[in-house]
Structure 1
Amino acid sequence: MYKLSQVTKDYPKGRATVHALRGVNVEIADGEWLSIQGPTGHGKSTLLQLLGGLDRPTSGSLELNGRDLARLGENAMTKVRASQIGFIFQTFNLIPTLSAQENVETALVPLGIKDSARRSRAAEALASVGLSDRARHLPSELSGGQQQRVAIARALVKEPKVLLADEPTGNLDEDTRDEIIGLLEKLWQDNGLTMIMVTHDSTVARRAQRLGTMRNGQLTVKQTVK
């Protein structure tokens, strides 16, 4: 699925250079769940952005199914993001003026799917996260947990190969956290997803098959103990 070889990412900061990633090497298998932890500012979110094609490495190769994302043209990269990768964020990133149904449908617009098929697939995705009865509600009319479920449905409606989650339970209370992680685990298993999750929560991280730790822009990975 993913193969990263000597991936670096540098950012200019004034006259200085921030070395966000320093030679990351890792392989992530098809259908694997990898959680990534580490102190704030040590490269976790940067790595997730590169895996999602939202940014490009400064050097090194980052292959997804044999294609080096670092060398793809912008149009090809946009197609990869639109069709193969789903994103979930801590802040949900829902459009406040759109209903839950409409928010989910937005993920299908870049794929050129017709209106009727888009509505049908969005309804199915909302049903898969237990929100059929909230389809017409605006984000402001939903709880935090419900908003994250909408965000999960939006990520999965396009049937991606990869699910990238950046602190998906960071804004949720403990009970809702457990509910959302249980849902993600079920969807990961049922859909054969490759899931990469950044989280500060060790309880969440230990649910994964492997646990990565980011420190000073370098990644170490080990098997989790079940």
Structure 2
Amino acid sequence: MYRLSGVTKHYRRGKQTVAALDGVDLTLADGDRLVIQGPTGGGKSTLLQMLGGLDRPTSGTVELDGTDLAALPEARLTRVRAETIGFVFQSFNLIPTLTAQENVETALVPLRLRAADRRERAAEALASVGLGERAGHVPAELSGGQQQRVAIARALVKRPKVLLADEPTGNLDTATRDDIMELLDTLWREHGLTFVMVTHDPALTRRAARLATLTGGRLTLTENRADAS
């Protein structure tokens, strides 16, 4: 379970202090699915970074299963990210010189698994996103949708508890977007993930059973929306 209490994040911009997050309170149960919308600069990506332990709040607490991520030493926080949290980004962030198989295996390196175990788990993850036969291809030999599937496999190969996605369909056409969202929804259900996604796409926010709007660093929630998917 996530529990955020009074989370603020301030940045310096020249002589001004900008509040990216302003007293955010949020509770997410295990297995929840939350979609976050809002204007550019409203704090969406900052909130996702807090949930993922990629940044620390100026004040407030970000608890995951009772542990305040903001209070952890960096080495332990890195371990939590490596074992518990998967990330999917708009830009895929694949290493261009590595094959799909090798890109997925990179997520397992911090876990210090044997090479054979890394290969086996990466192959299983690629098969789960429909790319088992493309494991030997480098990113330039894959379509945008296939590259995002590799990125999703890389996030899931760790067998995380949490999946965080920042505009995961932002670089994709409409048909590919729908394919990727269907895949993410299926994986969320099958793996019992806590799934949080940031998006600007109204077609995706309309599907949300639980929707958050972040504007000027302040969060409002709409619960129990009808799922249009």
Query: What interval of TM-score do these two structures reach, taking the shorter chain for normalisation?
Result: over 0.9
1:1-226 maps to which residues of 2 (within 5 A)?
Answer: 1-223=1-223, 224-226=225-227
Separation in 2 of the partners of 1:208 and 1:159?
24
For structure 1, list consecutive stretches of 5 or more residues without a partner in the other structure: none
Aligned equivalents of 2:209 and 2:71: distance in 1?
A: 30
Q: Distance in 2 between matches of 1:31 and 1:212?
A: 16
Looking at structure 1, the residues matched to 56 and 100 of structure 2 have their Cα atoms a distance apart, in angstroms, of 31
For structure 2, list consecutive stretches of 5 or more residues without a partner in the other structure.
none
Q: CA deviation at 1:225?
A: 1.9
Are the counterparts in 2 of residues 35 and 205 from structure 1 also a CA contact under 8 Å? yes
TM-score, normalised on structure 1?
Answer: 0.99
Distance 1:28 1:185 in 2: 17
Number of residues paired by the alignment? 226
- How far does residue 101 in structure 1 lie from its aligned partner after superposition? 0.2
What is the TM-score when the length of structure 2 is the normalising length? 0.97
Q: Aligned AA for 1:95?
A: I
Structure 1 segments of 4+ aligned residues over 6 angstroms from their partners: none
Which letter does structure 1 place at the counterpart of 2:204? V
Separation in structure 1 between the aligned mates of residue 53 and residue 212 of structure 2, nearest angstrom: 20
Amino acid at match of 2:156: L
Instruction: Quote how far apart the aligned CAs of 1:208 are.
Output: 3.0
Question: What secondary structure is seen at the aligned counterpart in 1 of 2:219?
Answer: strand
Letter paired with 2:226:
V
What SS is found at the alignment partner of 2:220? Answer: strand
Q: How far, CA to CA, are the matches of 2:55 and 2:215 in structure 1?
A: 20
Q: How big is the alpha-carbon RMSD for the aligned residues of Structure 1 and Structure 2?
A: 0.7
Taking the aligned partners of 2:123 and 2:113, their CA distance within structure 1 comes to 14
Equivalent residue of 1:42, what SS?
coil
Distance in 2, matches of 1:160 and 1:209, equals 22
Q: CA deviation at 1:100?
A: 0.1
In structure 2, how many angstroms separate the alpha carbons of the residues matched to 1:32 and 1:127?
A: 25
Q: What is the DSSP-based 3-state SS (H/G/I as helix, E as strand, rest coil) of the residue aligned with 2:212?
A: strand
Taking the aligned partners of 2:17 and 2:77, their CA distance within structure 1 comes to 26
1:32 and 1:209 in contact (8 A); partners too:
no
